[in-house]
Amino acid sequence: MPDRVEPLPNRMVERLVAYRRHLRQCLGEGRTQIYSHELARLERVTPAQVRRDLMTIGYTGSPATGYGVEGLIEHLAGLLDTRSIGGFALVGAGHLGRAILDYLARQHPEYQVAAFDINPEKTGRITHGYRCYMIDELERVLAECPMRVGVIAVPAEAAQDTAIRLIAAGVSGLLNFAPVRLHVPDSVFVEDADIALLLEKVAFFARAGRSEEKV
């Protein structure tokens, strides 16, 4: 893989992660080759988009046989390798936080994960194998075990302060579930998982989906 200093575009990383998931599934089913139109159909993009994405990361297939499943998985593994993040610090161990711990346990069993909450009833527990600490311990825990990804699952009014604290403790990427926009330094990557907004958006298209309606 050539050295690259330019980060990949946001949406492209999303697609590469999704391609990898399908490729792993194909591998599990014993397949050795896959065509761009198959990956495209699975991801609801065009085959040309798939080919552009894979060309951008320096992987080429053959028009006759497609892409080698195992080779492409390995290539993506090098590119998407995130072991250097150390782990995930999750703030807010309510229902949403516990659902996220479940995703982390299933998808990323190889990472350190620490949960934090303000409520003493939730702290001290082990959920999905991960310890939940009092929020006061955030700085100490992250100093001992650096974690570059912060997940914010606290109420809207606490989200900005939580972001500042996580960043001060060394976090450089945030997944924000609170329905507010965070103000962070440019060096920090923020992805909003804005469930309230998605609910409104789906409601809009559910209404507009029927052709007899006018929008």
Residues engaged in binding a copy of itself (CB under 8 A):
3-8, 10, 13-14, 17-18, 21, 42-44, 79-82, 84-85, 88, 94-96, 98-100, 102-104, 106-108, 148-149, 151, 171-175, 179, 181, 187-189, 191, 193-211, 213-215
Q: Of 108 and 131, which CB lies nearer to a copy of itself in the complex structure? A: 108
DSSP, collapsed to helix, strand or coil, labels residue 176 as strand
Angstrom distance (rounded) from CA 202 to CA 214:
16
Smallest distance from a copy of itself to CB 64, Å: 26
Angstrom distance (rounded) from CA 194 to CA 3:
34
Residues with Cβ within 8 Å of residue 143, at least 6 apart in sequence: 169
Q: Of 29 and 64, which CB lies nearer to a copy of itself in the complex structure? A: 29
Smallest distance from a copy of itself to CB 4, Å: 6
Q: Of 60 and 211, which CB lies nearer to a copy of itself in the complex structure? A: 211
Smallest distance from a copy of itself to CB 82, Å: 4
Smallest distance from a copy of itself to CB 9, Å: 11
Exposed, middle or buried, 173 (CB in 10 Å: 0-12/13-18/19+)? middle
Distance between first and last Cα of the chain: 48
Smallest distance from a copy of itself to CB 108, Å: 7
Exposed, middle or buried, 156 (CB in 10 Å: 0-12/13-18/19+)? exposed
Smallest distance from a copy of itself to CB 106, Å: 8
Angstrom distance (rounded) from CA 183 to CA 174:
11
Q: Of 74 and 136, which CB lies nearer to a copy of itself in the complex structure? A: 74
Q: Of 58 and 65, which CB lies nearer to a copy of itself in the complex structure? A: 58
Contact 131, 115 (CB under 8 A): yes
Q: Of 21 and 52, which CB lies nearer to a copy of itself in the complex structure? A: 21
